[in-house]
Structure formats: C-alpha cells, structure tokens
Amino acid sequence: MAGCYSESWTMKDLTDSLKNMHKDNKVIVVPIFQRGKRWKEEQENTFIDSLKRGYPVGTMLFYKRVENNQEVYTLVDGLQRGNTIKKFMTSPTRYFSCTSIPIEIINSTFNALGLHGQEKDIKHKISDLIVGAIRKFESVDEIETYDVAKAISSELPTNSQNIVDKLVKILKPFLKQYKDTNEEISKSTIPVIVYSGDEDNLPLIFDRINSQGTPLTQYEVYAASWPLDKKFVISNDKIIEKIMKKYDSLADDEYSLYGYDRDEFRLSKTVSAFEYLFGLGKHLNQDYKFLNFEKNEEDDEINTMAFELVSACINEGRDGIKTLYNKILGIDVKLFECRLIEAVKFVEKIIAPITRFKGNSRGNNPLLYSKFQILSMIACTFKEKYDLHNMKEARKTWNANRTILEKNMVLHFVYDILSNEWSNGGTSKIYSVSKPNKYMKEIPKAAWESSLSGCFEQENMRNEKSKVSGTTKADLVILNCIYLSTFTALDQLSIEKFDVEHIAPKDQMKDLIEACKHEGLPISNIGNLCYLPEYVNRSKKKNNFYQDTKYLNKVNLSDVENKYSFTKEEDLKWMDISYSKGDYEKLKDSYMDFLKKRFNSQKEKFYLSLGIQ
C-alpha cells in the first residue's frame, strides 16, 4: 500500500541535491514527464521575496527509492520552486534589487555625498549603483563594503572629505544584515512530502496535483498521463534531436533527468507516443516554413501541432486525442510519418502560388491563414489518399480525386480566408470538414460574389482621416490572386521589391478630406490598393500616377496601368479638383464611384486568375 511521510529540507540541502552534491548521499532527479521551467522572472522574484519574509511557500513532493546505496528522490512536484531555489542559492546577488535597500541607507548616502541638484534623480542613481555593485559579486560572502562604496563615489564625484570611509560606515551594517539574512535563508527549511508506492502512479499523481499555480496545458497533461514504458523505434533524426533538446534544457541546468541516457537515446531512437508527437511538432514547425506558427517557443515548450494533426488524421473526433497514444502504438509509425509528410508537401505546393507571392513582404512572407485551416487541409488530403489500415499504397480513387482536390483546395483556401471561416471552431472544425471532405466540393459563383462584396462593403464603412488602417490578410490574398495573371515568371524570380500602394495616395486623400472639413473616407479600401514596384511607388511620393511630370518621365505609364493599377487617367481626374468646406459629398461620390469601378475590375481579374467561371 502506498504511503506518505514528511521531511524538512534546508534550502542549501535542496540545492546541493538538485546539483548531485548532497553530503548525505542523497540526490534529486527530474522525471521525464516533468514539464520544463515555466516560471517568469516576476514569479521567481515573488517566490524569493516570500522566502526572505518567511512566508509559507508550499511543499515539494518526492518519490524515494534506493539505488546502489544512494537515496534517490524523484521530483514529482515542485520543479518551478526547486529551480528558483537553486538559482537563488547559486547566485543570490542576482536577486538583489532596489527594493532590497532601506530608504534610510539611500538618504544617509545622499547626505554624505553633499550633492546639489535633482534630489530624486540622485537618490535613484545611488540605488542603481548599489544594486549594480552588489550584483557583480558571485556570492554574498564575496561582497566587500569598500568596493560598493568606491563604486558610488566614482560615479557621483563630491567635494566631501573621506567620502569612501563615510560610505563604508553607512553601508557596513546594512551589508552585514544582508549577508546574515541570506545565511538564514540557506538554513531555512521547506516542507517535503515523500511518497513510497508504485512508481507507475507517479504520472497520474503529477497530473492531479497540478491544478493550481501555473496550470498544466492539455498537452502537458498528456505528458504526465500517457504511458512512458510503451515505446517504439523511429528513424527521423530531426525528431530525435528535438526531443533531446527538451531534455538537454533541463540537463544543462545540472539536473539529473531520471530515465534519460543521452547517448543511448540517440542510438536506440526509441520513444514514447508523447515524445514522438512532441518532436514531430517541433520538426514540422521549424522545417516547413508554411507551418511555422510558433516562432519563438522554447526548446522544452510543447508545440501542439503534431498532437492536433495526427489526431485529425487518425481519429474521427477531437475526444480521441486523450487516448491517441493507443492508436499510435497500433500503426506502423515510420510509414505513417512518410505518408503524413506527403500530405504536408501536397498542401504546401497547392497554396504556394498564393502564400509565396512576390508582393507579400520584404522578407519572410507573412502567414495569411490560421493553423487549423492548414491542418484541416493536410488531414483531409491524408484521408483522401490513404486508408489508415493500408498505407502501403494509395486508394484506388486517388488519381481521379487528386485532380479535383488540386483544383478545389486552393479555391477553398482563398475563400475561407476572405470569409474568415477559421476565426473560431479550432480543432473541432477540423473533423467536421472531413466528413465529407469539403475540399472536394466546388464553391458556387454566388458564394464568391457574396464573399468578395462582403469584404468590399465592410471596408467601405471605414472613416479614415488622420489614421489609415493597415492591409488585412484578406486584402493581401485578393491582391496575390489578382496579380497571379499579370506577374510573369520573370517578375517572380527578379530581385525587384514591391509595395502595397494606395492608388489615391493616403497623404493626398487626407489633405482632400481636411479641406472638406469632414470625418473621413475608406482610404484603405481594397479597391484603392495595388502592388507597385518599389522604384515606381516611392518616386511619386504623395502624387497619383498622373500628377507628377517628373515621375511620368521615369516610368512606362502604360505598363503601370495594364500590369499594376488597372486605371486610366480619367479615373482619377476628381483628385485634381479644388475642394473646400461643404464639398464633402462631391468628394465622397467621386471617390466611391472610383472604388466601385476599380473593385469590379479587380473581381474580373481575380476570377480569371483562379479560373472561376
């Protein structure tokens, strides 16, 4: 029968054991189901402040066993607190801050310096100098009062005689008290509950006790509750490296990670279901640019993509993700991964003309779509091509259905962005679109008309005067589709850069609206947007295409009209009129007519580019 008993560990003993240095032959190890270090700096500082004040800081939960006459404690709960304690005990001066200095010390130092000027600023400087001087010392025992006093006097010169000696006299009692306080903290104890029982229960215990503090994510629960001993061999070295980075991030902090042998893991490539999905998610996120949804996640942070994608390929509903490991253990994982990557590359190729379009940006193309939209496309492709029970060859219907999918999927991709289809629903919607596979269906022309007109009318409601809205994802998708038929292969391969430009320039529109003394117009409407080569756009500044004669001498106006703007000079004649107060309606009617006419032209080119009849 399982049992628990309590122990008291000093902060020093806890730190030494975490670093495998305990004097009583004890060592603390971290189980591989533990999540990574999640506390932010503010949480760490609050915890250290509680230690200094003697406040209760909760308990640690250990599982104890004996290996080779050494007491091994598995840290089941308390990694965040244990990590913070270890960091503090290793380098306590790092946590010294301005709030650690009594105001009396600052006032006495200020008076001793005898400086004149901004008292508040000088006192703030004194505080910063004390903090900076103390943080230079590796340990509290190394702090020299003279060095702190010298740091202050060097930065704040004064005529006061023997100023260093005066400052030493002021600082010495305070720094002695600081050292004594840290010595007391190192000897203070933290309560520990030690569990002895079936080791297989540890993941479940970890899951149940983590209901407070920084809560576990859904996927960290899987890490704790999915079986660790049911493993299989994989061949993808990139996935292995991603898993190792997670464990190495803990090992780098001198933790002993129970159940993990780096060299053996690299050679055997034997993983649990959770480890596999953890590494696969990192691999997809980092190695396929169009799946780079998490750009700055830590090595030990779970990327949820593989959990969601694999479940969508294997299960019929989102509830199945809780026991997804059972399905994974029952299939040929190497073959499944190969087929999954086929689906990933298929979708990547389908959307590439839109997502990699030359005019998107200066550097990396922005993600115009949501994660769940793309995952649904990959999962539907996988299911359309393969039967999970026979992945050695494609379905007999694949060759015929592939042609349909290639044609319709890119249209659904664009349509869903314009209609904001994936703004909600998340994982549940992934399953609904696959029964039946919506990407096999054509989108009616009436639906396109409604979606495009909705975007146009929605943007017509803007009243922009001094501030103009940025380009939306829907705007970029529409522009990218339009210019597919006008940009040649050479345009796409050239080094030329492109801007999203307002045909009726923003600054000139602002001036016209101000002249009419009115609230604004939809300057950023899609009907007023186009792509322009950088040299064409920036040379004309706030003028439109037809107003700057110097500009007209530098560019081929016909090329601009036919390839980029789809306008004629008469379309913008209304901008040459002198407007004044009371002329707003005249300006509005002219501008809105221009938008409507140009948007109709944009729609025609949009339909032509996408082959919509």
- Give the pair of three-digit tokens for residue 515: 């002249």
Residue 322 pLDDT > 60, yes or no? yes
pLDDT-based confidence at 32, cuts 50/70/90?
low
The token duo for 326 is 């059972």
Which pTM value belongs to this model?
0.71
Please indicate, yes or no, if residue 66 is contained in any of the structural domains: no
Say if residue 434 is in the same domain as residue 502: no
Are 315 and 362 in a shared domain? yes
pLDDT of residue 288: 93
Average pLDDT over residues 475-498: 74
DSSP state at residue 468? -
Domain assignment present for residue 432? The answer is yes
In a domain, 52, yes or no: no
Whether residues 164 and 307 fall in one domain? no
Phi, psi angle pair for 286, to nearest 5°: -95, -25
Check pLDDT > 70 for residue 254: no
Where residue 548 falls among pLDDT bands split at 50, 70, 90? confident
Same structural domain, 439 and 456: no
> Which pLDDT band holds residue 523 (cuts at 50, 70, 90)?
very high
Q: Are residues 411 and 462 in the same domain?
A: no
Domain's final residue, options 443, 460, 483: 443
User: Quick check: is 198 in a domain?
Assistant: no
Report the alpha-carbon distance of residue 240 to residue 549 in Å, rounded: 62
Minimal CA–CA distance to 57: which of 14, 104, 92, 24? 14
Strands 60-67 and 189-196, sheet pairing: parallel
Where would I find the H helices in 252-304? 262-268, 273-287
**One domain, residues 355 and 487:** no
The top-scoring range by mean pLDDT among 91-100, 292-301, 395-404 is: 395-404
Q: Do the domain assignments include residue 196?
A: no
Same domain for 461 and 355, yes or no, is no
Is residue 564 included in any domain, yes or no? yes
| Shared-domain flag, residues 418 and 467 | no
Q: Domain end: 389, 409, 443, which one?
A: 443
Q: In this structure, is residue 151 part of a structural domain?
A: yes
What's the chain's average pLDDT? 84
Q: Which residues contact 445 (CB under 8 A, 6 or more apart)?
A: 612, 613
Per-residue DSSP letter, 442: P
For residue 448, pLDDT over 90 is answered with: yes
Q: How many domains does the chain have?
A: 3
Q: Which domain holds residue 142?
A: 95-174
Q: What is the pLDDT of residue 123?
A: 87
Res 284 pLDDT > 60: yes
Q: To which H or E segment does residue 176 belong?
A: helix 163-187
Asked whether residue 477 falls in the same domain as residue 397, the answer is no
pLDDT, average across residues 342-346 = 97
* Percentage of the chain exceeding pLDDT 70: 86
Q: Which amino acid is at 233?
A: V
Which of these three, 113, 141, 174, is where a domain ends? 174
Residue 42 has pLDDT above 70, yes or no: yes
> How many whole angstroms separate alpha carbon 236 and alpha carbon 231?
15
- Please tell me whether residues 280 and 380 are part of one structural domain: yes
Residue 28 lies in a domain: no
Q: Is the pLDDT assigned to residue 493 strictly greater than 70?
A: no
pLDDT at 406: 93
- CB proximity list for 481: less than 8 A, separation 6 or greater: 354, 414, 606, 609, 610
The confidence band for 22, taking pLDDT boundaries of 50, 70 and 90, is: low
Question: 416 and 277: one domain?
Answer: yes
419 and 458 together in one domain: no
